[in-house]
Structure formats: structure tokens, C-alpha cells
Amino acid sequence: MANQIPLVEYLELGDQPHLKAHECTSCGARYFDRRNACAGCSGTEFTPVVVPDEGVVKAFSIVTFAAPGVPVPFVSAIIDCGGTSVRGNVINCEPSPEVVHLGMPVRLATYVLGTDDNGVEAIGFGYEPAN
């Protein structure tokens, strides 16, 4: 098996890939990137939490124009994962309004973005239809 590295530090790989957030111990706000202080309450203590792997599409856009080399169309979405908002693409389905819809149940999925000369795979994440 090839060595793998996650594209973002909050993606945990392994037998059951998942996302990890930093939760403010004062108000419960969650952030994916490191914080010195909470934007909601100015608290300075955070604890790591696992974000649920399943969620629902709360907002989405079908992107038809992108930077050179980025395949289009694709679906960019905001997913509600048990109260945590996650920005990610909806993958493994047709990028059309007939398929993707608000309230659509989805689950976390990982995929290989590329492999370097040493055989190390870069792993990204998205959300695929849960049905």
C-alpha cells in the first residue's frame, strides 16, 4: 500500500477517515483551522472533536468555470454534519440540479488527488450521496 498524506490537516486517514475540528470549550463553536481565540466568545481554549461523517446539503453551487486544469462542472457545497458546517465538494454523482438538492443526505468520502515520484498519494475529501 502506498503512503498517503491528507490534503488538509483536519482530515484524519486510516480505516475510517473522518474530519476533526477544534471546539471552543466556552461556547462550543467549531473551527477547522488553528485558532488563538474563538470568534464567537473570545475564549482561548479548544478541544479536538470528531465531526460526524454524515450530513445534509445546506447550500450548493454548480461551478462551470474554474482555473485552468480544474475539471468542470463540479458541485461546491456547504454540508451540515450534526451542527458543524463543512465546505466541500459533492462527488461521485452527476453535477446537476436534478441530482443534487438541498437537504440531500451525504457522507464523507476520500479520493486520491495525485501521486508524487516516491509513490506518496495526496488524499482529498468530499461528500457523496448517502443513498
Q: How does pLDDT run across 5-29, given as a tens digit for each residue? A: 999 999 999 999 999 999 999 999 9
pTM over 0.85? The answer is yes
Q: How does pLDDT run across 44-102, given as a tens digit for each residue? A: 999 999 999 999 999 999 999 999 999 999 999 999 999 999 999 999 999 999 999 99
Grid coordinates belonging to 40:
464567537
Q: In the CATH scheme, what is the code of domain 4-14+52-129?
A: 2.40.50
* H or E element, residue 7: none
Q: How does pLDDT run across 69-83, given as a tens digit for each residue? A: 999 999 999 999 999
Domain ranges, ordered by start, for the chain: 4-14+52-129
**In the predicted structure, residue 1 carries a pLDDT above the cut 80:** no
